């Protein structure tokens, strides 16, 4: 993601220390290149915190669905 923030551990710590809502419950796996963190919760669901609308949005039921839907742009298996 970044030269200084390339590790999942470092990125997760950075967003948590910044007090971004939701990130205290997630492992941060990415961001949307606008500074909005994308994370996975303990149940495997994928979420994003969007600072523009000031809320948290559910992106996918699990990591595979996230990759298929948001990264590869192919339909989910559901």
- In this prediction, residue 78 carries a pLDDT of 61
- In this prediction, residue 67 carries a pLDDT of 93
What six digits make up the tokens of 44?
């495997």
Q: Which residues pair with 56 in a beta bridge?
A: 49
- Residue with the bigger pLDDT between 5 and 13: it is 13
Taking phi over 0 as left and psi of -120 to 50 as alpha, with beta for the rest, 44 belongs to left
- In this prediction, residue 55 carries a pLDDT of 94
pLDDT tens-place string over residues 30-75: 888 888 999 999 999 999 999 988 899 999 999 999 999 988 988 7
Rounded Cα–Cα distance for residues 55 and 48 (Å): 8
Cβ–Cβ < 8 Å for 38, 49: no
Q: Which residues pair with 38 in a beta bridge?
A: 30, 48
């Amino acid at each position: 993601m970044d030269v200084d923030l390339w590790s999942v551990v470092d990125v997760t710590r950075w967003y948590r220390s910044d007090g971004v809502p939701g990130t205290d419950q997630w492992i941060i796996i990415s961001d949307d290149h606008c500074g909005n963190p994308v994370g996975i919760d303990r149940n495997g669901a994928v979420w994003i915190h969007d600072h523009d609308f000031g809320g948290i949005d559910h992106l996918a039921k699990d990591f595979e669905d996230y990759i298929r839907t948001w990264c590869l742009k192919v339909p989910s298996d559901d």
